[in-house]
Amino acid sequence: MPLDAAVQGLLDGLTEQGVRPFEEMSVADARATVASFVDLQAEPRPVAQVIDTIYPGPAGDQDIRLYIPDAPGPLPVVVYFHGGGFVTGDLTVTEELCRALANDAGAIVAAVSYRLAPEHPFPAATDDTFAALRWVADNAVHFGGDPTRLAVHGDSAGGNLAAVAALRARDEGGPALTCQVLTYPVIDPHADTPSRKEFGEGYIITAAGLDWFWNHYLSDPDDAENPLAVPSKAAYLTDLPPALILSMEYEVSRDEAEAYGRQLADAGVEVKVVRVDGLVHGVYWISGAIPRATELRSTVAEFLTQQFNKHPAPDREAAR
């Protein structure tokens, strides 16, 4: 399918503005560029309640923001890890997305802040996000959540962190997860795939840009063999929760995301891999400039709803 017209318009606009690729930026400039994505988003939708609080991370307290929709509880909970290459991103740039997801999935969305590289390289991000997942599971009932219906979700680097959190929950005593949703996840820094070559330049994230992010996150070459950084390196992938993996047609990390889906399927995991034609890495956040971002969000919300409905809340089940 041809590149989406709105995406082409965005790429042309970035070129006209002289926006450099990430690999040519300083860390500060990269963070400012990602923060500016707020200007490309739709108007944030109202939710019933937003709670700003903290969770105890392994290196100290971290921020977590809970988006609670106007729906009868107890509500399922989606623990969301933002993207940004392990280096950029925060709770502000994902505010609009999380509000929409809470409403569309009828679930509490717990958006997690975590330590960023290069100041805090691997394993800081996975240690923080897994601690947040456990905190949410332990405290869900206090904000109207149902800890028996719990999902992890992330995009890009956040998709990696969500996949790793699912592995850790399996191997480190829980919590039990209903499902995992990985939106264009980056999986393996050494993936040698056709999409890395074909879409290595010109589509928001270049192949060199992807390397730039990974090089900031991984401080030792051996880290690339560690399944807590590269989930495809896990000794086995059985006994993981059902997964939805979204890939974009025109993106450098497309093939590694889809390959991870095949690994999960080969291990007997229920998995749905959806390639979205015409789109690029990053559009999940860009709902104003890229109208088709709603397609991704609808697919995610539908999958979450289906998975949560397989596990009704205890009080509803008892009423049958």
How far is CA 298 from each of CA 246, 302, 303, rounded to the nearest angstrom? 12, 6, 9
Q: What's the whole-number mean pLDDT along residues 289-303?
A: 97
Asked if the model's pLDDT at residue 122 lies above 50, the reply is: yes
Asked if the model's pLDDT at residue 128 lies above 90, the reply is: yes
Nearest Cα to Cα of residue 14 among 287, 184, 202, 251: 202
| pTM of the predicted structure, to 2 decimals | 0.96
pLDDT at residue 1, rounded to an integer: 86
Element of type H or E holding 275: strand 271-280
pLDDT at residue 67, rounded to an integer: 98
Identify residue 183 by its one-letter amino acid code: T
- Provide the greatest CA pair distance for the chain: 61
- Half-sphere exposure at residue 161, Cβ-oriented, CA atoms within 13 angstroms: 34
Query: Do the beta carbons of residue 221 and residue 298 sit within 8 Å?
Result: no
- Half-sphere exposure at residue 273, Cβ-oriented, CA atoms within 13 angstroms: 18
Nearest Cα to Cα of residue 81 among 162, 174, 184: 162
The percent helix, strand, coil of the chain (3-state, each to 5) is 45, 20, 35
pLDDT at residue 316, rounded to an integer: 47
pLDDT tens readout for residues 144-199 = 999 999 999 999 999 999 999 999 999 999 999 999 999 999 999 999 999 999 99
pLDDT at residue 312, rounded to an integer: 75
Read off the pLDDT band of 202 (50, 70, 90): confident
Q: Using CB atoms within 10 A of its CB, is residue 212 exposed (0-12), middle (13-18) or buried (19+)? A: buried
At a CB cut-off of 8 Å and minimum separation 6, what does 236 contact? Answer: 267
pLDDT at residue 315, rounded to an integer: 60
C-alpha 54, offset from chain centre: 20
The CATH number of the domain covering residues in 5-310: 3.40.50.1820
Q: Using CB atoms within 10 A of its CB, is residue 85 exposed (0-12), middle (13-18) or buried (19+)? A: buried
Across the chain, what does the average pLDDT equal? 95
pLDDT at residue 320, rounded to an integer: 34
| The token pair that represents 242 in the structure block | 């059902």
pLDDT at residue 317, rounded to an integer: 45
| The token pair that represents 186 in the structure block | 């980056």
Range 14-18 contact pairs with CB under 8 angstroms and sequence separation of 24 or more = 14/204
Q: Alpha-carbon distance 204 to 184, whole Å?
A: 13
Q: Alpha-carbon distance 176 to 20, whole Å?
A: 42
Query: Do the beta carbons of residue 55 and residue 64 sit within 8 Å?
Result: yes
Q: Alpha-carbon distance 155 to 178, whole Å?
A: 18
Query: Do the beta carbons of residue 307 and residue 271 sit within 8 Å?
Result: no
| The token pair that represents 24 in the structure block | 């040519």
Asked if the model's pLDDT at residue 33 lies above 90, the reply is: yes
Rounded to a whole number of angstroms, the CA Rg of the chain reads: 18
Asked if the model's pLDDT at residue 205 lies above 50, the reply is: yes
Query: Domain limits of the chain?
Result: 5-310
pLDDT tens readout for residues 38-92 = 999 999 999 999 999 999 999 999 999 999 999 998 999 999 999 999 999 999 9
pLDDT tens readout for residues 245-261 = 999 999 999 999 999 99
Q: Using CB atoms within 10 A of its CB, is residue 319 exposed (0-12), middle (13-18) or buried (19+)? A: exposed
Q: Among residues of the chain, what percentage have pLDDT more than 70?
A: 98
pLDDT at residue 311, rounded to an integer: 81
List beta partners, residue 181.
153, 244
